[in-house]
Amino acid sequence: MVPVTVVFTRESVPLDDQEKLPFTVVHEREIPLKYKMKIKCRFQKAYRRALDHEEEALSSGSMQEAEAMLDEPQEQAEGSLTMYVISEHSSLLPQDMMSYIGPKRTAVVRGIMHREAFNIIGRRIVQVAQAMSLTEDVLAAALADHLPEDKWSAEKRRPLKSSLGYEITFSLLNPDPKSHDVHWDIEGAVRRYVQPFLNALSAAGNFSVDSQILYYAVLGVNPRFDSASSSYYLDMHNLPHVINPVESRLGSSAASLYPVLNFLLYVPELAHSPLYIQDKDGAPVATNAFHSPRWGGIMVYNVDSKTYNASVLPVRVEVDMVRVMEVFLAQLRLLFGIAQPQVPPKCLLSGPKSEGLMTWELDRLLWARSVENLATATTTLTSLAQLLGKISNIVIKDDVASEVYRAVAAVQKSAEELASGHLASAFVASQEAVTSSELAFFDPSLLHLLYFPDDQKFAIYIPLFLPMAVPILLSLVKIFLETRKSWKKPQKTD
């Protein structure tokens, strides 16, 4: 459930409608997935009148000032949204725009003086709220692992699997240290650009950042020469073959349990400079970079040919970290699945914050992750139950059982919290559910007696008991026959 607070300023709706404030309206929407699975999404809209300072803020000249003034009072809870309805003729928005989505869980919608004001405004509000929270494509991408593939979902890029944390590694590949002496200020760049982004994302997991410089690391593919532009190029079809030879030298972490995201910066060797990446139309890609979902990204950095004029090898190359970090951060956003939202028509999207992440984008990520975690946890528990049904030999120890109970409790709690709109606690509960269910499913003690089926038990015990049992059985039979004879004899004589 998404709690939405709708604030009406004085001239946004007709007066008699304003008398009805405050009240609450609930709007439900069903998002269909495959196989009759649906997710119900509820928007609980609490309508209220604007407070004085909010009126003041919304009558200021520009959006930035308004936002600055609205910021101060309180920090909103995760998952909730606040919408301000301004008057139809207000100059806060440009004339043709009906709504505006701000960077911090706020939005502004134009009001209307009409009899059915509330209905119309209600519809606009729901449109904007949907753009800022769960939509179909976000859910489909999050549940991509659990829904079977079809043509429609194969085109969607898969975001990273939900995990408790991630390790991000930046590597500079220099295949030709004789010609290029490459220096990059990675520490400063990480501190200035990457760390704020990761701090904004810190609710989604633990992040750690590393960097290294690898020498004599070559791409596995030979680039081809294009005489028209006298440069080398890598075709789009060659790109998947680039990653594998490089991966063995990246040293992906032995010391950490979290998945690793690799971002490589490749400075091509002198013989293959300059090097461009071509897309399917044959045009060189503007950023000269590509990324692979769930793995990371690679950018090719061409050394400016002017630096070779001194012709003393090796030339010193200082990498322009701003350009590089722009590309890497954009790739990071794509890898996490924070894509551009589908904004409703005539809506103005504000520019991003300095961290590169808007707060409601984080909320969308958390919604998607919670749903994915719940799906994973339930799938794991169901498969464990099915396995137990088929193979009766699996031993369930007490601590495995307690993990299963914890997982089930966490799933229920997370579903309740999601339904009541507390996103942060729902996300934490869903992570706990996944951890507990995986601990229970992958416990090595489950396999103790797995390969000890019943017919083998017979095979082991029969050679011991059968020879002992045969004489006993025979003598029992003999005793039985004799007693029967002795009963019959008295009968006969009697």
Partner 1 sequence: MAAAIPLSLLVLLLLGPGGWCLAEHPRDSLREELVITPLPSGDVAATFQFRTRWDSELQREGVSHYRLFPKALGQLISKYSLRELHLSFTQGFWRTRYWGPPFLQAPSGAELWVWFQDTVTDVDKSWKELSNVLSGIFCASLNFIDSTNTVTPTASFKPLGLANDTDHYFLRYAVLPREVVCTENLTPWKKLLPCSSKAGLSVLLKADRLFHTSYHSQAVHIRPVCRNARCTSISWELRQTLSVVFDAFITGQGKKDWSLFRMFSRTLTEPCPLASESRVYVDITNYNQDNETLEVHPSPTTTYQDVILGTRKTYAIYDLLDSAMINNSRNLNIQLKWKRPPENGYIHYQPAQDRLQPHLLEMLIQLPANSVTKVSIQFERALLKWTEYTPDPNHGFYVRFPVSDGSNYFVRLYTEPLLVNLPTPDFSMPYNVICLTCTVVAVCYGSFYNLLTRTFHIEEPRTGGLAKRLANLIRRARGVPLL
Q: Is residue 446 at the binding interface for partner 1, with CB under 8 A as the rule?
A: no
Q: Does 203 bind partner 1 (CB under 8 A)?
A: no
Q: Does 137 bind partner 1 (CB under 8 A)?
A: no
Which is closer to partner 1, CB of 55 or CB of 235? 235
Window of 28-36, 52-60, 116-124, 181-189 that interacts with partner 1 by CB under 8 A: 181-189
Tell me whether residue 135 or residue 253 sits nearer to partner 1 (CB atom).
253
**For residue 265, which amino acid is it?**
L
Angle (nearest 5°) at CA 57 between 52 and 62: 160
* Closest CB 188 distance from partner 1, rounded Å: 5
Fill in the per-residue mask, 338 to 377: x = in contact with partner 1 (CB under 8 A), - = not in contact.
--x----------xx-x-x---------------------
* Number of helices and strands in the chain (H, E): 14, 17
Given 5, 44, 127, 208, the residue binding partner 1 (CB under 8 A): 208
How would you classify the pairing of strands 99-101 and 106-110? antiparallel
Question: Considering only residues 95, 230, 248, 305, which one is a binding residue for partner 1 as defined by CB under 8 A?
Answer: 248
Is 400 among the residues that bind partner 1 (CB under 8 A)? Answer: no
Binding residue (CB under 8 A) for partner 1 from 166, 193, 232, 367: 193
State which residue, 236 or 394, has the beta carbon closest to partner 1.
236
Closest contact distance (angstroms) between CB of 345 and partner 1 is 19
- Piece in contact with partner 1 (CB under 8 A), picked from 139-147, 188-196, 417-425, 451-459: 188-196
Site string for partner 1, 250-269 (x = CB under 8 A): -x-xxxx-------------
Q: Could you say which of 26, 51, 77, 322 contacts partner 1 (CB under 8 A)? A: 322
Edge to edge, what strands does the sheet with 81-86 contain?
A: 23-32, 38-49, 2-8, 81-86, 106-110, 99-101, 347-349
Question: Contacts with partner 1 in 278-317 (CB under 8 A)?
Answer: 279, 285-287, 289-293, 314
Strands 296-300 and 289-292: antiparallel
Residue 231 found at the interface with partner 1 (CB under 8 A):
no
Residue 73 CA: distances (Å) to CA of 22, 57, 70, 352, 362: 20, 12, 7, 21, 21
Q: Are 102 and 350 in contact, with CB atoms under 8 Å apart?
A: yes
Q: Using CA atoms of 235, 325, 161, 38 in order, give the dihedral in degrees to the nearest 10.
A: -90
Q: Phi and psi for 79 in degrees, rounded to 5?
A: 90, -10
Stretch that binds partner 1, among 2-10, 20-28, 53-61, 319-327 (CB under 8 A): 319-327
Q: Report how many residues bind partner 1 under the rule CB under 8 A.
A: 54
Work out whether strand 231-234 and strand 224-226 pair parallel, antiparallel, or are unpaired: antiparallel
**How many whole angstroms separate alpha carbon 19 and alpha carbon 5?**
17
Cα distances from 477 to residues 464, 470, 471, in angstroms, run 21, 11, 10
The correct pick among 130, 169, 359, 437 for binding partner 1 (CB under 8 A) is 169
Cα→Cα distances 297→42, 328, 329, Å:
37, 7, 10
Q: Which of 42, 249, 406, 413 binds partner 1 (CB under 8 A)?
A: 249
C-alpha to C-alpha distance for 351 and 293, rounded to whole angstroms: 26
Q: Which stretch binds partner 1 (CB under 8 A): 3-11, 64-72, 191-199, 264-272?
A: 191-199
Task: Work out how close the CB of 361 gets to partner 1 at its nearest, in angstroms, rounded to a whole number.
Answer: 12
139 closest CA partner among 27, 2, 39, 36 = 39
> Residue 74 — φ and ψ, nearest 5°?
-145, 160
- Alpha-carbon distance 53 to 65, whole Å? 13
Part of the chain binding partner 1 (CB under 8 A), chosen from 65-73, 77-85, 133-141, 213-221: 213-221
391 residue type, one letter: I
The residue ranges that bind partner 1 (CB under 8 A) are: 157, 169, 177-178, 185-188, 190-193, 208-213, 215-216, 236, 239-240, 248-249, 251, 253-256, 277, 279, 285-287, 289-293, 314, 322, 325-327, 329-331, 334, 340, 351-352, 354, 356
